[in-house]
Structures are given as structure tokens and as C-alpha cells.
Structure 1
Amino acid sequence: MPLVPTRDIMTQAVTGGYGQGAFNVIHLETAQALIAGAEQAHRPLILQISENCVAYHGALEPIALATMASARAAQVPVAVHLDHAQDEHLVYQAIELGFGSVMYDGAHLDYARNLASTRRVVEAAARQNIYVEAELGEIGGKDGAHAPGVRTDPEQALEFVARTGVDALAVAVGSSHAMLERRAELDTELISRLAQRLDVPLVLHGSSGVSDENLRAGIAAGMRKINVSTHLNGYFTRAVRDWLAAHPEAVDSRKYVAAGRAAMAAETARLLQLFATP
């Protein structure tokens, strides 16, 4: 399958009324694992490269080109998305590289500045027909800076979407980034209100801290893009630890990384099937 635009994958999710998995790349092995899981599940996939991932690799282009090449070789539709970029210049780099979508995260700014900077990004992306996600009402868990009760206001969200022209909106509905336990409770009533008011897909960040049952409830209420990172990274890391404990003499990193890759692929397939099941 060729590398596909994020817009195509999200249009299918909206039409089908299901949740589309969008999972984060940490390094090339995780991109391979996520694609393998999508192929096992026979489901489309959105691969996400975050600003933190770019910082780890030292630049966007090396990890982006490797991820896009992996996506082009996949047997299922795969899109590549820039996730949580607060740096506008990084967004413009992703647009030039041909990403299927970008997320400009201006939620740390006051409302007026968020609106203005998001609009600039939308205008730049529109020239390349690139899908844009933005955020309103900060999602918790970023450096401990957000109060746990933060929620997105539906009326403000309606105005924000209308004035910026974004294609999708990440909303604060009870989840929190980087949670190691799945104990967050989604505000499904708020999700329903947002879905009824907005004509763009809703995006759930911080999904690693949400149980299967609660994720399904959130999708039923109107969530369409489901971002997962920490939960899947846990599967990769635990498998590596277990393999090294069983093989203390090992020196070839490919062997234990392969164990992590296999574990992440299996959970990727399970989540993609879970999100797509009515």
C-alpha cells in the first residue's frame, strides 16, 4: 500500500463511526512494530512523530524519512502525522517533507494567540492539502502543569474551529498524558456535546490512561482519533526486560529489540481491532 493522506483514513473513521488508532513512533523499531500490528489486524494506522521524538533524534528528517519509507512498504494504509508540535517551524518542516497531517499544539498559549498561530498553520498546510489537528483546553499530564479538572468548553471549541479552519480537534475530556495506570475516567457526556456541536473529528490524547471499556464508551460518544503511546511503549519495554533477564549473556541488541517489537505489534493489533469494533 502507498503512504496515504491522514484525511483519507480519518474520513473513513468518521463515516464508519469508529475510533482510528494513532500510535507514536519512538524509533524505527517501534514504527516497524506498529505497522506489523496494523497488518495483523488488517486495519489502517496513523503513525505519529512527536516534538519529543524529534528532539531525541536530533532532527525531524532522519526519523521522518525512515518512518515514511516504512509506511510505503506496509500492506495496509498508513499515514504519518506530526504530533504535539509547539514549534511552528517544526510544523512547516513536516509540511515540506510531505507528512499526511500535522498537529500544532498552541494550547499552552492564551486563547487569542492559540487561535492566531493555529490559523497561520492551517493556511500553510492548506497550500499542500495537509490535514491539521489542533488542541483546545489543555490535556493533563504535561510536566505536571495542568489541573486535573481541565475541560474543553463546547462553545469556545465551536468558535475556535470556525475561526481557524482546523480539520480535527484534540479536546480535554478527562484523560491525561503519560499515565502508567489505566484509571482515567472520560467525560462521555461532554464528548457527546462536543461531537454534536462540532463538524470536525474529535481527538483523544492521553489514551494510555484509559481502560478498554472507557475507550469504547468514548468512541461511542463521538471520539474518532485515539492517540496511544505510553501504553504501547510499556509492552515493548517489558518484553525487552524479560528477554534480557532470560539471556543475561546477550550482547546483540537486535535480539532483545526484536522481542520488544513483537510484543508491541501484538498489542497494536488488539487495540486497532478494539477501536474499530462496534
Structure 2
Amino acid sequence: MDIVSTKEMLLDAKKNSYAIPAFNIHNLETMQAVLEGAWEMKSPIIIATTPGTVNYAGLDFLVGMAKAGAKNFNIPIAIHLDHCSDVDFIKKCILAGYKSVMIDASLKDYEENIRLTREIVNFAQKYGATVESELGVVGGQEDERKVDEKDVLYTDPNVALDFIEKTEIDSLAIAIGTAHGVYKLEPKLDIDRLEEIRNKVYVPLVLHGASGVPEKSVIEAIEHGICKINISTELKMAFIKNIRKYLSENPSANDPRNYLTPGKEAIKKVVIDKIKICGCENRA
């Protein structure tokens, strides 16, 4: 099996009222942990990488690792470029083998957002890649993208359909009360807004900043139309917490195979838990 786009998996999630988790990875170990958890749960999975991760790990290495995962684990695996505003960078990732990308022009004015998104859609369609875009502004920080709380804009349901029709995107990331990073207070999702958007549009809907959102709220969001859930911060926190614990208990340790393993095991547990919450177990 080769890496796939997110098109069929998200359409099936939309049809059957569940969600696919997209886990942000950073290196071989974090990708392995995500794939092992997904394979154990027989779940389709989305491996998400920010531009910062691509620059850190290397584009060809990431695609190569994802292809190796698809060869060794008999589940649908998509590798996705998350939150990228650089058109040339997105095209480079598609040419390298990415089958799913997110053009994030949400900080631009509406017409420019449409123009840039449409350009990527036209390019991606030539290579069988799917495109996600964002309407509204999700707060918090993802790589170098930082949005203060005062600048957060919720997605306007009345504009969503127009945006989708003009861009022909495959999925829409919406702003309904989540943020990237660590929450200071429990987030309150605008489920009424989500329901209104779901009733107006026909593409799968995406929830960013789901790390730290209470389980009941995630489940409610899925019940009201969310088809893809982005998870990043919870993986990083679990990874480093268990590495620190191991090094604290083994101060003379110097073999990365030993101290990275507890981190991988912690990520795998998070992955399995999120797959259960999303309802995508045994959907591969």
C-alpha cells in the first residue's frame, strides 16, 4: 500500500459520523509511535507535518518514512502539510509526494484567501492531492504563526459556502473556539455555529487545536459534523514528560534508543485514546 490522499477517508468519516485524527509528528520516533498506535487500532491515520517540521526533518526523509509506514502497516496513511501560507513551499511538498496539504491564508483578506487557495487547488488536482483551507482565524501558536486572542475570528456560516464554491477545496478548517498550544482555561466550542456551518456546506469540516479540548466536547463536535481532528501539543507533552522521567531515574543513560522509547510509548497511548474518541477504530 502507498500513501493516500485524505479525500476518501474524510468523505467516509463525514458519511458515517466519525472523525480521523491528524497527529503532528516531528521525527522518526514520533511518526513510528503514531503509526504503531493506528495499526493496533486498525484505523486510517493522517500524519501531519508543519513547514517547521519539514525544514527540520527534511522533505524527502518525511515522505520516505511515510511510504515505509504505508508498506509495513496495512492501513490507509496520508501525509499532510499543515498550516502553510507559502504557495511555492506547498507545491514543492506536493511534487515530493504529499497527497494532502493545507493552504492557510486565513490571515489575508477574504479575496486574497480565495485567490491563493484556488491556486493551490488547481495545482494539487494535477497530482491527486487534496486541499484543506481555513476560514476564520484560530488562535494560539503553530510554528511561526501566532495569533493573539484579540485577533481570533470565528468562521461565518454565511460565508463558508461561498468560499468553498469559489475555491473547490476538499475540506474546511473552521474556527469555533479552539486554539493552538496549551489552554489556560477550558475552551468552549460554539456548537451552534458548527451545526449551522454543517447545514450550509458539503465538504468535511476540520477542528484545529484539539489538544486539551475535553473528550465530551470533541465527541459533541464530531456528532455535529467535524470529520478531522488535529492533535499536536498533547503528543509533544507526553513525549517529553516520559523522556524526562526516564532520564531522571537513569541519570547516567546516554543511549537514545533507551530514553526515546518511553516517549514513543507515551505517544502511542495518546494516539490510541484519540482514535477511540474519534470513533475510527476498525475503519481501516
With the shorter chain as reference, the TM-score category is over 0.9
Structure 1 residues 258 and 180: alpha-carbon distance in aligned structure 2, compared to 1, 3 A threshold: farther
Distance 2:250 2:196 in 1: 52
After alignment, is 47-56 or 110-119 more displaced? 47-56
Give the deviation of 1:123 after TM superposition: 0.4
Give the deviation of 1:182 after TM superposition: 7.1
Structure 1 residues 4 and 257: alpha-carbon distance in aligned structure 2, compared to 1, 3 A threshold: same
Structure 1 residues 138 and 72: alpha-carbon distance in aligned structure 2, compared to 1, 3 A threshold: farther
Establish whether residue 262 from structure 1 lines up as the match of residue 265 from structure 2: yes
Give the deviation of 1:144 after TM superposition: 4.0
Q: Is the 8 A contact 2:3 2:66 kept in 1?
A: no
> Residue 96 of structure 1 corresponds to which residue in structure 2?
95
Give the deviation of 1:146 after TM superposition: 4.5
Distance 1:180 1:55 in 2: 27
Give the deviation of 1:237 after TM superposition: 1.1
Give the deviation of 1:4 after TM superposition: 2.5
Give the deviation of 1:147 after TM superposition: 2.4
Establish whether residue 173 from structure 1 lines up as the match of residue 176 from structure 2: yes
Could you say what the CA RMSD is over the residues aligned between the two structures, in angstroms?
1.7
Give the deviation of 1:181 after TM superposition: 5.7
Structure 1 residues 120 and 155: alpha-carbon distance in aligned structure 2, compared to 1, 3 A threshold: same
Establish whether residue 222 from structure 1 lines up as the match of residue 225 from structure 2: yes
Structure 1 residues 180 and 74: alpha-carbon distance in aligned structure 2, compared to 1, 3 A threshold: farther
Alignment of 1:27-106 (within 5 A): 27-57=27-57, 59-106=58-105
> Residue 251 of structure 1 corresponds to which residue in structure 2?
254
- The list of structure 1 runs, each at least 4 consecutive aligned residues, that deviate by more than 3 angstroms after superposition, is none
> Residue 117 of structure 2 corresponds to which residue in structure 1?
118
> Residue 20 of structure 1 corresponds to which residue in structure 2?
20
Q: Is the 8 A contact 1:133 1:169 kept in 2?
A: yes
> Residue 235 of structure 2 corresponds to which residue in structure 1?
232
Distance 2:280 2:84 in 1: 31
Write the deviation string for residues 165-212 of structure 1: whole angstroms up to 9, x where unpaired.
001000100000012567111111111001110100110000013111
> Residue 163 of structure 2 corresponds to which residue in structure 1?
160
> Residue 150 of structure 1 corresponds to which residue in structure 2?
153
One-letter amino acid matched to 1:43: S
Q: Secondary structure at the match of 1:226?
A: strand
> Residue 132 of structure 1 corresponds to which residue in structure 2?
131
Distance 1:171 1:132 in 2: 14
Q: Secondary structure at the match of 1:207?
A: coil
Q: Secondary structure at the match of 1:124?
A: helix
One-letter amino acid matched to 2:177: G
Q: Is the 8 A contact 1:82 1:101 kept in 2?
A: yes
Q: Is the 8 A contact 2:59 2:96 kept in 1?
A: no
Give the deviation of 1:235 after TM superposition: 1.0
Q: Is the 8 A contact 2:191 2:224 kept in 1?
A: yes
Q: Flag structure 1 segments of 5+ consecutive residues without an equivalent.
A: none
Establish whether residue 274 from structure 1 lines up as the match of residue 277 from structure 2: yes
Distance 1:277 1:93 in 2: 31
- Identify the match of residue 190 of structure 1 among 193, 198, 204: 193
Q: Report the count of equivalent residues.
A: 277
Q: TM-score of the superposition, structure 1-length normalised?
A: 0.94
Q: Secondary structure at the match of 1:114?
A: helix
Q: Flag structure 2 segments of 5+ consecutive residues without an equivalent.
A: none
Write the deviation string for residues 105-145 of structure 1: whole angstroms up to 9, x where unpaired.
11111111111010000000111121110001011113243
Structure 1 residues 119 and 43: alpha-carbon distance in aligned structure 2, compared to 1, 3 A threshold: same
> Residue 6 of structure 1 corresponds to which residue in structure 2?
6
